[in-house]
A and B are shown apart, each in its own frame.
Chain A
Amino acid sequence: MPFRTFTALFLSLCIFIPLIGLFGGCTPIEPVKVGYVGGLTGRHYDLGLSGRNGASMAVARINNDGGIGGRQIKLIVKDDKQDPEVAKKAVNELIGEGVVAIIGHMTSSMSGATIPIVNDKNVVMISPTTSSSDFEGKDDNFVMLYPSTRTSAGHFSSYIFNEMGLRRVAVIYDVSNRTYSESWYENFRSEFKKLKGEVVSGKAFTSGEEESLFAIARELLEKKPEGILIIANALDTALLCQQVRKIDKNVSLMTSEWAFTADVLKHGGSSVEGVVFIEKVDLESEDPRYMEFASEYEKLFGRLPDFAASKSYDAVQVLAAALRMTTDREEIKDAIVRKHVFQGLQGEFVIDDYGDAKLDHFIVTVKNNRFRVIRKL
Protein backbone atom coordinates (compact mmCIF):
# COMPACT_ATOMS: atom_id res chain seq x y z
CA MET A 1 0.00 0.00 0.00
CA PRO A 2 2.09 2.87 -1.32
CA PHE A 3 -0.22 5.53 0.01
CA ARG A 4 0.16 4.34 3.57
CA THR A 5 3.93 4.19 3.20
CA PHE A 6 3.92 7.71 1.92
CA THR A 7 1.79 8.82 4.85
CA ALA A 8 4.19 7.10 7.22
CA LEU A 9 7.20 8.80 5.66
CA PHE A 10 5.44 12.11 5.77
CA LEU A 11 4.64 11.66 9.44
CA SER A 12 8.24 10.69 10.14
CA LEU A 13 9.46 13.85 8.52
CA CYS A 14 6.95 15.85 10.53
CA ILE A 15 8.49 14.45 13.68
CA PHE A 16 12.06 14.48 12.43
CA ILE A 17 12.21 18.10 11.43
CA PRO A 18 11.24 19.47 14.86
CA LEU A 19 13.72 17.05 16.41
CA ILE A 20 16.51 18.50 14.30
CA GLY A 21 15.45 21.84 15.68
CA LEU A 22 15.50 20.44 19.19
CA PHE A 23 18.94 18.91 19.04
CA GLY A 24 20.68 20.71 16.29
CA GLY A 25 20.02 24.32 17.23
CA CYS A 26 18.69 26.90 14.84
CA THR A 27 20.11 29.06 12.10
CA PRO A 28 20.90 32.49 13.58
CA ILE A 29 19.55 35.62 11.98
CA GLU A 30 22.36 37.35 10.05
CA PRO A 31 23.76 40.15 12.23
CA VAL A 32 24.22 43.73 11.07
CA LYS A 33 27.97 44.23 10.73
CA VAL A 34 29.43 47.54 11.82
CA GLY A 35 33.10 48.39 11.54
CA TYR A 36 35.24 50.19 14.06
CA VAL A 37 38.61 51.56 13.17
CA GLY A 38 40.95 53.53 15.39
CA GLY A 39 44.49 53.60 16.74
CA LEU A 40 44.62 50.81 19.27
CA THR A 41 48.37 50.63 19.55
CA GLY A 42 51.19 53.13 19.44
CA ARG A 43 51.38 56.47 21.19
CA HIS A 44 47.87 57.54 20.20
CA TYR A 45 46.31 54.34 21.53
CA ASP A 46 44.26 56.15 24.19
CA LEU A 47 41.61 57.63 21.84
CA GLY A 48 41.42 54.39 19.89
CA LEU A 49 40.92 52.21 22.96
CA SER A 50 38.42 54.57 24.56
CA GLY A 51 36.55 54.80 21.28
CA ARG A 52 36.48 51.04 20.97
CA ASN A 53 35.25 50.70 24.55
CA GLY A 54 32.46 53.23 24.08
CA ALA A 55 31.40 51.72 20.79
CA SER A 56 31.35 48.19 22.24
CA MET A 57 29.22 49.39 25.14
CA ALA A 58 26.72 51.00 22.77
CA VAL A 59 26.58 47.85 20.64
CA ALA A 60 26.04 45.67 23.73
CA ARG A 61 23.29 47.98 24.90
CA ILE A 62 21.50 47.94 21.51
CA ASN A 63 21.82 44.17 21.23
CA ASN A 64 20.44 43.75 24.74
CA ASP A 65 17.46 45.83 23.71
CA GLY A 66 16.68 43.57 20.78
CA GLY A 67 19.04 44.80 18.11
CA ILE A 68 17.96 46.41 14.87
CA GLY A 69 14.62 44.94 13.88
CA GLY A 70 15.58 41.75 15.66
CA ARG A 71 19.05 41.58 14.14
CA GLN A 72 22.05 41.84 16.43
CA ILE A 73 24.86 44.25 15.65
CA LYS A 74 28.29 42.76 15.27
CA LEU A 75 31.16 45.20 15.82
CA ILE A 76 34.29 44.40 13.81
CA VAL A 77 37.29 46.22 15.31
CA LYS A 78 40.41 47.18 13.33
CA ASP A 79 43.59 48.95 14.42
CA ASP A 80 44.86 51.72 12.13
CA LYS A 81 48.12 51.92 14.13
CA GLN A 82 48.13 55.65 13.31
CA ASP A 83 49.55 54.62 9.96
CA PRO A 84 47.75 55.86 6.80
CA GLU A 85 48.52 52.68 4.89
CA VAL A 86 47.36 50.44 7.71
CA ALA A 87 44.27 52.63 8.03
CA LYS A 88 43.42 52.26 4.32
CA LYS A 89 43.92 48.52 4.51
CA ALA A 90 41.74 48.27 7.60
CA VAL A 91 38.92 50.28 6.00
CA ASN A 92 39.04 48.23 2.79
CA GLU A 93 38.93 45.06 4.85
CA LEU A 94 35.92 46.27 6.78
CA ILE A 95 34.08 47.18 3.58
CA GLY A 96 35.04 43.80 2.18
CA GLU A 97 33.57 42.10 5.21
CA GLY A 98 30.25 43.73 4.44
CA VAL A 99 29.93 46.32 7.17
CA VAL A 100 26.99 48.71 6.74
CA ALA A 101 29.02 51.60 8.16
CA ILE A 102 32.27 52.37 9.95
CA ILE A 103 32.76 54.09 13.27
CA GLY A 104 36.16 55.89 13.20
CA HIS A 105 38.82 57.10 12.87
CA MET A 106 39.73 58.75 16.10
CA THR A 107 42.32 61.10 14.65
CA SER A 108 42.06 63.47 11.70
CA SER A 109 45.13 62.18 9.89
CA MET A 110 43.74 58.70 9.67
CA SER A 111 40.33 60.02 8.62
CA GLY A 112 41.99 62.06 5.92
CA ALA A 113 43.64 58.91 4.57
CA THR A 114 40.43 56.85 4.30
CA ILE A 115 37.69 59.42 3.43
CA PRO A 116 38.38 58.95 -0.32
CA ILE A 117 37.81 55.20 0.12
CA VAL A 118 34.50 55.53 1.92
CA ASN A 119 33.33 58.12 -0.58
CA ASP A 120 34.35 55.83 -3.41
CA LYS A 121 32.75 52.73 -1.89
CA ASN A 122 29.72 54.71 -0.73
CA VAL A 123 30.05 53.60 2.87
CA VAL A 124 29.31 56.00 5.68
CA MET A 125 32.10 56.61 8.20
CA ILE A 126 31.07 58.25 11.42
CA SER A 127 34.00 59.68 13.33
CA PRO A 128 33.48 60.30 17.05
CA THR A 129 36.48 62.57 17.50
CA THR A 130 37.91 63.73 14.18
CA SER A 131 37.61 67.49 14.12
CA SER A 132 39.91 68.95 11.49
CA SER A 133 38.20 71.86 9.79
CA ASP A 134 39.44 70.36 6.49
CA PHE A 135 36.54 67.94 6.59
CA GLU A 136 33.92 70.45 7.58
CA GLY A 137 31.00 71.48 5.32
CA LYS A 138 31.45 68.72 2.78
CA ASP A 139 28.62 66.63 1.40
CA ASP A 140 30.43 63.31 1.52
CA ASN A 141 30.17 60.00 3.36
CA PHE A 142 32.06 61.31 6.34
CA VAL A 143 30.05 62.25 9.38
CA MET A 144 31.82 64.29 12.08
CA LEU A 145 30.36 64.08 15.54
CA TYR A 146 32.97 66.47 16.83
CA PRO A 147 32.89 70.12 15.86
CA SER A 148 35.84 71.32 13.85
CA THR A 149 39.07 72.76 15.10
CA ARG A 150 38.03 76.07 13.63
CA THR A 151 35.25 76.66 16.12
CA SER A 152 37.27 75.21 19.00
CA ALA A 153 40.28 77.33 18.20
CA GLY A 154 38.12 80.41 17.86
CA HIS A 155 36.44 79.88 21.18
CA PHE A 156 39.66 78.94 22.94
CA SER A 157 41.71 81.91 21.68
CA SER A 158 38.96 84.21 22.81
CA TYR A 159 38.93 82.57 26.26
CA ILE A 160 42.71 82.68 26.59
CA PHE A 161 42.90 86.32 25.54
CA ASN A 162 39.89 87.67 27.37
CA GLU A 163 39.41 85.45 30.39
CA MET A 164 42.93 84.30 31.16
CA GLY A 165 44.35 87.65 30.08
CA LEU A 166 47.29 86.07 28.20
CA ARG A 167 48.87 88.06 25.38
CA ARG A 168 52.00 86.00 24.66
CA VAL A 169 51.47 82.37 23.97
CA ALA A 170 53.80 79.66 22.71
CA VAL A 171 52.32 76.71 20.80
CA ILE A 172 53.66 73.20 20.47
CA TYR A 173 51.90 70.77 18.21
CA ASP A 174 52.33 67.13 17.23
CA VAL A 175 52.68 66.69 13.49
CA SER A 176 52.19 62.92 13.71
CA ASN A 177 48.49 63.95 13.55
CA ARG A 178 49.25 66.84 11.27
CA THR A 179 45.84 67.25 9.68
CA TYR A 180 44.38 67.99 13.06
CA SER A 181 47.18 69.72 14.85
CA GLU A 182 48.24 72.05 12.07
CA SER A 183 44.66 73.01 11.44
CA TRP A 184 44.27 73.70 15.15
CA TYR A 185 47.46 75.67 15.31
CA GLU A 186 46.69 77.75 12.25
CA ASN A 187 43.15 78.47 13.36
CA PHE A 188 44.32 79.42 16.81
CA ARG A 189 47.10 81.61 15.58
CA SER A 190 44.89 83.61 13.23
CA GLU A 191 42.11 83.98 15.79
CA PHE A 192 44.55 84.95 18.57
CA LYS A 193 46.19 87.41 16.26
CA LYS A 194 42.85 88.98 15.50
CA LEU A 195 42.54 89.60 19.21
CA LYS A 196 45.92 91.31 19.18
CA GLY A 197 47.56 88.41 20.96
CA GLU A 198 50.98 87.13 20.00
CA VAL A 199 52.04 83.59 19.30
CA VAL A 200 55.65 83.90 20.38
CA SER A 201 56.67 80.54 19.04
CA GLY A 202 55.07 77.64 17.14
CA LYS A 203 56.97 74.44 17.75
CA ALA A 204 56.17 71.30 15.78
CA PHE A 205 57.23 67.88 17.09
CA THR A 206 56.61 64.27 16.24
CA SER A 207 55.30 62.05 18.98
CA GLY A 208 57.72 59.36 20.11
CA GLU A 209 60.47 60.51 17.83
CA GLU A 210 61.92 63.32 19.86
CA GLU A 211 65.21 63.02 21.68
CA SER A 212 64.02 64.90 24.72
CA LEU A 213 60.78 66.62 25.60
CA PHE A 214 62.68 68.39 28.32
CA ALA A 215 64.75 70.22 25.65
CA ILE A 216 61.56 71.23 23.82
CA ALA A 217 60.11 72.61 27.02
CA ARG A 218 63.22 74.61 27.66
CA GLU A 219 63.10 75.95 24.12
CA LEU A 220 59.47 77.01 24.48
CA LEU A 221 60.15 78.80 27.70
CA GLU A 222 63.09 80.70 26.26
CA LYS A 223 60.64 83.15 24.58
CA LYS A 224 59.14 83.88 27.99
CA PRO A 225 55.58 83.18 27.00
CA GLU A 226 52.74 83.83 29.44
CA GLY A 227 51.21 80.57 28.43
CA ILE A 228 51.93 77.44 26.42
CA LEU A 229 49.28 75.79 24.24
CA ILE A 230 49.94 72.09 23.71
CA ILE A 231 48.26 70.36 20.76
CA ALA A 232 49.20 66.72 21.38
CA ASN A 233 47.89 63.48 22.73
CA ALA A 234 47.37 62.97 26.45
CA LEU A 235 50.63 61.13 27.09
CA ASP A 236 52.77 63.70 25.28
CA THR A 237 50.81 66.54 26.83
CA ALA A 238 51.36 65.06 30.30
CA LEU A 239 55.04 64.52 29.68
CA LEU A 240 55.39 68.04 28.26
CA CYS A 241 53.63 69.46 31.26
CA GLN A 242 55.99 67.49 33.49
CA GLN A 243 58.97 69.00 31.64
CA VAL A 244 57.62 72.55 31.72
CA ARG A 245 56.86 72.36 35.41
CA LYS A 246 60.39 71.15 36.09
CA ILE A 247 61.55 74.57 34.80
CA ASP A 248 58.68 76.96 35.36
CA LYS A 249 56.06 76.53 37.97
CA ASN A 250 53.98 79.52 36.90
CA VAL A 251 53.56 79.59 33.16
CA SER A 252 49.93 78.89 32.08
CA LEU A 253 49.37 75.63 30.31
CA MET A 254 46.56 75.06 27.83
CA THR A 255 45.71 72.08 25.62
CA SER A 256 43.37 71.20 22.83
CA GLU A 257 40.67 68.53 23.32
CA TRP A 258 43.02 65.85 21.99
CA ALA A 259 44.72 65.45 25.34
CA PHE A 260 41.47 65.37 27.23
CA THR A 261 41.70 61.80 28.46
CA ALA A 262 42.42 60.10 31.77
CA ASP A 263 45.96 59.44 30.64
CA VAL A 264 46.80 63.12 30.98
CA LEU A 265 45.99 62.89 34.66
CA LYS A 266 47.69 59.54 35.08
CA HIS A 267 50.92 60.58 33.47
CA GLY A 268 50.77 64.28 34.35
CA GLY A 269 50.36 64.00 38.08
CA SER A 270 50.67 67.33 39.84
CA SER A 271 52.18 68.93 36.73
CA VAL A 272 48.78 69.06 35.02
CA GLU A 273 47.09 70.81 37.92
CA GLY A 274 45.54 74.03 36.57
CA VAL A 275 45.99 73.12 32.92
CA VAL A 276 43.11 74.60 30.88
CA PHE A 277 41.34 72.48 28.26
CA ILE A 278 38.70 73.31 25.71
CA GLU A 279 36.27 70.45 25.40
CA LYS A 280 32.95 69.51 23.85
CA VAL A 281 32.03 66.88 26.36
CA ASP A 282 30.89 67.77 29.82
CA LEU A 283 32.65 65.26 32.04
CA GLU A 284 30.64 66.47 35.00
CA SER A 285 27.37 66.12 33.18
CA GLU A 286 24.51 65.10 35.43
CA ASP A 287 22.43 63.81 32.58
CA PRO A 288 21.22 60.44 33.88
CA ARG A 289 22.13 58.80 30.61
CA TYR A 290 25.70 59.97 30.92
CA MET A 291 25.95 59.09 34.59
CA GLU A 292 24.72 55.59 33.99
CA PHE A 293 27.09 55.26 31.06
CA ALA A 294 30.05 56.55 33.05
CA SER A 295 29.39 54.27 35.97
CA GLU A 296 29.05 51.21 33.78
CA TYR A 297 32.15 52.19 31.83
CA GLU A 298 34.20 52.52 34.97
CA LYS A 299 32.99 49.14 36.14
CA LEU A 300 33.99 47.53 32.86
CA PHE A 301 37.26 49.26 32.09
CA GLY A 302 38.56 50.38 35.46
CA ARG A 303 38.51 54.09 34.69
CA LEU A 304 36.09 56.88 33.91
CA PRO A 305 35.11 57.44 30.29
CA ASP A 306 36.71 60.22 28.32
CA PHE A 307 35.33 62.24 25.43
CA ALA A 308 36.42 59.61 22.92
CA ALA A 309 34.46 56.90 24.72
CA SER A 310 31.30 58.92 25.07
CA LYS A 311 31.43 60.25 21.52
CA SER A 312 31.99 56.72 20.20
CA TYR A 313 28.97 55.62 22.18
CA ASP A 314 26.99 58.44 20.60
CA ALA A 315 28.34 57.57 17.14
CA VAL A 316 26.99 54.03 17.40
CA GLN A 317 23.64 55.40 18.58
CA VAL A 318 23.53 57.78 15.60
CA LEU A 319 24.21 54.86 13.29
CA ALA A 320 21.57 52.71 15.03
CA ALA A 321 18.98 55.46 14.60
CA ALA A 322 19.75 55.50 10.89
CA LEU A 323 19.75 51.69 10.67
CA ARG A 324 16.28 51.63 12.14
CA MET A 325 15.26 53.64 9.09
CA THR A 326 17.28 51.61 6.59
CA THR A 327 19.90 48.90 6.54
CA ASP A 328 20.86 49.67 2.97
CA ARG A 329 24.37 51.09 3.46
CA GLU A 330 24.06 53.45 0.53
CA GLU A 331 21.09 55.17 2.16
CA ILE A 332 22.47 55.56 5.68
CA LYS A 333 23.97 59.00 5.19
CA ASP A 334 20.63 60.27 3.87
CA ALA A 335 18.86 58.69 6.80
CA ILE A 336 21.23 60.46 9.25
CA VAL A 337 20.71 63.81 7.57
CA ARG A 338 16.95 63.28 7.47
CA LYS A 339 16.84 62.31 11.11
CA HIS A 340 18.75 65.49 11.90
CA VAL A 341 18.24 65.53 15.68
CA PHE A 342 19.83 62.81 17.82
CA GLN A 343 19.78 61.85 21.43
CA GLY A 344 23.28 61.84 22.86
CA LEU A 345 24.57 60.90 26.28
CA GLN A 346 24.52 64.56 27.18
CA GLY A 347 21.29 65.63 25.54
CA GLU A 348 20.09 66.18 22.05
CA PHE A 349 22.41 67.36 19.31
CA VAL A 350 22.00 68.18 15.68
CA ILE A 351 23.78 66.92 12.58
CA ASP A 352 23.56 69.26 9.60
CA ASP A 353 23.13 68.44 5.93
CA TYR A 354 26.89 67.98 5.55
CA GLY A 355 27.03 65.46 8.34
CA ASP A 356 28.66 67.83 10.82
CA ALA A 357 27.47 67.82 14.42
CA LYS A 358 26.97 70.99 16.42
CA LEU A 359 28.05 70.84 20.08
CA ASP A 360 28.55 73.13 23.02
CA HIS A 361 32.09 73.94 24.17
CA PHE A 362 33.32 73.69 27.72
CA ILE A 363 36.39 75.15 29.42
CA VAL A 364 37.84 72.54 31.75
CA THR A 365 40.74 72.50 34.15
CA VAL A 366 42.42 70.00 36.49
CA LYS A 367 42.08 70.35 40.18
CA ASN A 368 43.30 67.68 42.62
CA ASN A 369 44.04 65.41 39.71
CA ARG A 370 40.46 65.62 38.47
CA PHE A 371 38.85 67.47 35.60
CA ARG A 372 36.71 70.41 36.59
CA VAL A 373 34.43 72.35 34.24
CA ILE A 374 35.08 76.05 34.55
CA ARG A 375 32.63 77.32 32.06
CA LYS A 376 30.34 76.38 29.24
CA LEU A 377 30.93 78.56 26.20
Chain B
Amino acid sequence: MNLDPIPNQDDILLELFARYLDKSLAPDEMDALNWALQQSPQTRALFVDFCTQATMVKETVAADQPETASAPEPVIFPQPGLVSWLIPASLICCLLLIWTLTPTQESTPQLVESSQVPEQVEMEPVYTYSIWDHYEGKELAHLSPQTASLLLIPAIPQPGWFPDPEQLLRTALMEATLSAPSPRLIIASEYFWSVPSDEIDWMQLSFLNSQPEYQYYPPSL
Protein backbone atom coordinates (compact mmCIF):
# COMPACT_ATOMS: atom_id res chain seq x y z
CA MET B 1 0.00 0.00 0.00
CA ASN B 2 1.33 3.40 -0.92
CA LEU B 3 0.55 5.88 1.82
CA ASP B 4 1.57 9.51 1.74
CA PRO B 5 3.59 10.52 4.76
CA ILE B 6 1.72 12.59 7.30
CA PRO B 7 2.72 16.21 6.67
CA ASN B 8 4.36 18.02 9.53
CA GLN B 9 3.40 21.50 10.66
CA ASP B 10 6.05 23.23 8.58
CA ASP B 11 4.88 21.44 5.45
CA ILE B 12 1.34 22.64 6.04
CA LEU B 13 2.53 26.18 6.69
CA LEU B 14 4.72 26.22 3.61
CA GLU B 15 1.83 25.12 1.41
CA LEU B 16 -0.28 27.84 2.99
CA PHE B 17 2.43 30.41 2.22
CA ALA B 18 2.70 29.21 -1.38
CA ARG B 19 -1.03 29.57 -1.85
CA TYR B 20 -1.01 32.96 -0.13
CA LEU B 21 1.49 34.28 -2.67
CA ASP B 22 -0.71 32.76 -5.34
CA LYS B 23 -3.68 34.71 -3.94
CA SER B 24 -5.67 31.52 -3.83
CA LEU B 25 -6.52 31.29 -0.14
CA ALA B 26 -10.16 31.11 0.86
CA PRO B 27 -11.30 33.59 3.54
CA ASP B 28 -11.19 31.02 6.31
CA GLU B 29 -7.71 29.97 5.21
CA MET B 30 -6.66 33.61 5.28
CA ASP B 31 -7.92 33.78 8.84
CA ALA B 32 -5.90 30.68 9.60
CA LEU B 33 -2.78 32.25 8.13
CA ASN B 34 -3.26 35.41 10.15
CA TRP B 35 -3.75 33.34 13.26
CA ALA B 36 -0.68 31.23 12.59
CA LEU B 37 1.51 34.26 11.95
CA GLN B 38 0.39 35.87 15.18
CA GLN B 39 1.31 32.82 17.24
CA SER B 40 5.07 32.64 17.01
CA PRO B 41 8.11 34.56 15.81
CA GLN B 42 9.40 31.34 14.26
CA THR B 43 6.38 31.12 11.99
CA ARG B 44 6.78 34.75 11.00
CA ALA B 45 10.46 34.20 10.27
CA LEU B 46 9.60 31.18 8.14
CA PHE B 47 6.98 33.21 6.29
CA VAL B 48 9.30 36.10 5.48
CA ASP B 49 12.03 33.70 4.46
CA PHE B 50 9.65 31.83 2.18
CA CYS B 51 8.59 35.07 0.48
CA THR B 52 12.22 36.16 0.17
CA GLN B 53 13.17 32.90 -1.46
CA ALA B 54 10.21 33.16 -3.82
CA THR B 55 11.46 36.59 -4.87
CA MET B 56 14.96 35.27 -5.47
CA VAL B 57 13.73 32.27 -7.41
CA LYS B 58 11.61 34.51 -9.57
CA GLU B 59 14.61 36.69 -10.39
CA THR B 60 16.83 33.73 -11.11
CA VAL B 61 14.34 31.78 -13.19
CA ALA B 62 13.22 34.86 -15.09
CA ALA B 63 16.84 35.56 -15.97
CA ASP B 64 17.16 32.09 -17.44
CA GLN B 65 14.26 32.45 -19.84
CA PRO B 66 13.75 35.85 -21.34
CA GLU B 67 11.28 34.55 -23.88
CA THR B 68 8.27 33.81 -21.72
CA ALA B 69 4.60 34.30 -22.25
CA SER B 70 4.43 36.96 -19.58
CA ALA B 71 7.43 38.92 -20.74
CA PRO B 72 6.82 41.36 -23.55
CA GLU B 73 9.08 41.66 -26.51
CA PRO B 74 12.20 43.66 -25.84
CA VAL B 75 11.55 47.36 -25.90
CA ILE B 76 13.43 49.41 -28.43
CA PHE B 77 14.28 52.97 -27.61
CA PRO B 78 14.77 54.98 -30.75
CA GLN B 79 16.87 57.98 -29.92
CA PRO B 80 17.77 60.51 -32.57
CA GLY B 81 21.51 60.63 -32.56
CA LEU B 82 21.77 57.74 -30.21
CA VAL B 83 21.93 54.07 -30.66
CA SER B 84 18.72 52.19 -30.08
CA TRP B 85 18.96 49.79 -27.26
CA LEU B 86 17.30 46.66 -26.25
CA ILE B 87 16.79 46.26 -22.56
CA PRO B 88 17.13 42.55 -21.98
CA ALA B 89 14.35 40.82 -20.17
CA SER B 90 16.89 38.51 -18.63
CA LEU B 91 18.62 41.12 -16.58
CA ILE B 92 18.42 40.72 -12.89
CA CYS B 93 17.85 44.20 -11.81
CA CYS B 94 18.50 46.63 -9.27
CA LEU B 95 17.77 49.94 -10.52
CA LEU B 96 18.46 53.01 -8.77
CA LEU B 97 18.06 56.39 -8.54
CA ILE B 98 19.05 59.80 -8.89
CA TRP B 99 17.96 62.64 -6.94
CA THR B 100 18.31 66.31 -7.31
CA LEU B 101 18.09 67.30 -3.70
CA THR B 102 20.79 68.01 -1.24
CA PRO B 103 20.23 65.75 1.75
CA THR B 104 18.34 67.70 4.34
CA GLN B 105 19.59 68.28 7.83
CA GLU B 106 17.11 66.44 9.95
CA SER B 107 16.90 65.00 13.36
CA THR B 108 17.99 61.55 14.41
CA PRO B 109 15.79 58.88 12.84
CA GLN B 110 12.96 57.69 14.96
CA LEU B 111 10.59 54.81 14.65
CA VAL B 112 7.02 55.85 14.22
CA GLU B 113 3.81 54.40 15.49
CA SER B 114 2.61 51.48 13.46
CA SER B 115 -0.05 53.25 11.45
CA GLN B 116 1.76 56.52 10.94
CA VAL B 117 3.79 57.26 7.91
CA PRO B 118 7.18 58.70 8.82
CA GLU B 119 7.58 62.32 8.07
CA GLN B 120 7.79 62.78 4.37
CA VAL B 121 11.11 63.85 3.00
CA GLU B 122 10.60 66.62 0.54
CA MET B 123 11.83 65.29 -2.74
CA GLU B 124 11.68 66.41 -6.26
CA PRO B 125 10.14 63.83 -8.54
CA VAL B 126 12.29 60.82 -9.05
CA TYR B 127 12.06 58.74 -12.13
CA THR B 128 13.00 55.13 -11.91
CA TYR B 129 12.86 52.33 -14.39
CA SER B 130 13.25 48.78 -13.31
CA ILE B 131 13.32 45.42 -14.97
CA TRP B 132 9.74 44.95 -13.83
CA ASP B 133 8.72 48.02 -15.75
CA HIS B 134 10.33 46.41 -18.73
CA TYR B 135 8.35 43.22 -18.23
CA GLU B 136 5.20 45.32 -18.27
CA GLY B 137 6.21 46.84 -21.57
CA LYS B 138 6.82 50.33 -20.28
CA GLU B 139 9.26 52.32 -22.30
CA LEU B 140 12.19 54.08 -20.85
CA ALA B 141 11.33 57.75 -20.70
CA HIS B 142 13.63 60.57 -21.62
CA LEU B 143 15.38 61.99 -18.65
CA SER B 144 15.00 65.56 -17.61
CA PRO B 145 16.86 67.86 -15.21
CA GLN B 146 14.00 67.73 -12.77
CA THR B 147 13.35 64.05 -12.70
CA ALA B 148 16.61 62.58 -13.87
CA SER B 149 17.13 59.27 -12.29
CA LEU B 150 17.74 56.01 -13.87
CA LEU B 151 19.56 52.83 -13.56
CA LEU B 152 19.36 49.34 -14.76
CA ILE B 153 21.72 47.14 -12.90
CA PRO B 154 22.06 43.43 -13.30
CA ALA B 155 23.38 41.62 -10.28
CA ILE B 156 25.09 38.77 -12.07
CA PRO B 157 26.17 39.23 -15.66
CA GLN B 158 25.58 36.08 -17.63
CA PRO B 159 26.51 35.00 -21.12
CA GLY B 160 24.01 36.07 -23.70
CA TRP B 161 22.83 39.20 -22.01
CA PHE B 162 22.46 42.05 -24.34
CA PRO B 163 23.34 44.75 -24.05
CA ASP B 164 25.87 44.28 -21.33
CA PRO B 165 25.73 46.36 -18.17
CA GLU B 166 28.41 48.73 -19.35
CA GLN B 167 26.41 49.53 -22.44
CA LEU B 168 23.37 50.18 -20.32
CA LEU B 169 25.31 52.55 -18.14
CA ARG B 170 26.63 54.42 -21.10
CA THR B 171 23.17 54.73 -22.60
CA ALA B 172 21.75 56.02 -19.35
CA LEU B 173 24.47 58.58 -18.99
CA MET B 174 24.24 59.73 -22.57
CA GLU B 175 20.54 60.22 -22.05
CA ALA B 176 21.15 62.23 -18.94
CA THR B 177 23.83 64.29 -20.59
CA LEU B 178 21.72 65.18 -23.57
CA SER B 179 18.57 65.95 -21.67
CA ALA B 180 19.90 67.87 -18.73
CA PRO B 181 22.68 70.38 -18.40
CA SER B 182 23.85 69.17 -15.02
CA PRO B 183 21.64 66.53 -13.56
CA ARG B 184 22.87 64.99 -10.41
CA LEU B 185 22.83 61.31 -10.86
CA ILE B 186 23.55 58.57 -8.45
CA ILE B 187 24.15 55.11 -9.73
CA ALA B 188 24.18 52.17 -7.42
CA SER B 189 25.09 48.90 -8.89
CA GLU B 190 25.47 45.43 -7.59
CA TYR B 191 27.20 44.74 -10.85
CA PHE B 192 30.36 46.45 -9.74
CA TRP B 193 30.56 44.26 -6.70
CA SER B 194 29.92 41.07 -8.58
CA VAL B 195 32.49 41.42 -11.30
CA PRO B 196 36.23 41.38 -10.68
CA SER B 197 37.56 44.77 -11.60
CA ASP B 198 39.90 43.32 -14.18
CA GLU B 199 36.89 42.03 -16.12
CA ILE B 200 35.35 45.45 -16.49
CA ASP B 201 36.29 47.41 -19.51
CA TRP B 202 37.56 50.43 -17.67
CA MET B 203 38.70 52.09 -20.84
CA GLN B 204 35.15 52.20 -22.05
CA LEU B 205 33.88 53.30 -18.70
CA SER B 206 36.53 55.92 -18.17
CA PHE B 207 34.37 58.61 -19.68
CA LEU B 208 32.13 58.34 -16.67
CA ASN B 209 34.76 59.91 -14.53
CA SER B 210 35.05 62.81 -16.89
CA GLN B 211 31.63 64.01 -15.90
CA PRO B 212 31.95 65.20 -12.33
CA GLU B 213 28.35 66.27 -12.02
CA TYR B 214 27.36 62.66 -11.70
CA GLN B 215 27.73 60.72 -8.55
CA TYR B 216 28.41 57.07 -8.70
CA TYR B 217 28.08 54.29 -6.27
CA PRO B 218 30.33 52.66 -5.44
CA PRO B 219 32.43 55.82 -5.60
CA SER B 220 35.54 53.93 -6.67
CA LEU B 221 34.12 53.82 -10.15
Bound pair: A and B? no
Query: A-contacting residues of B (Cβ < 8 Å)?
Result: none
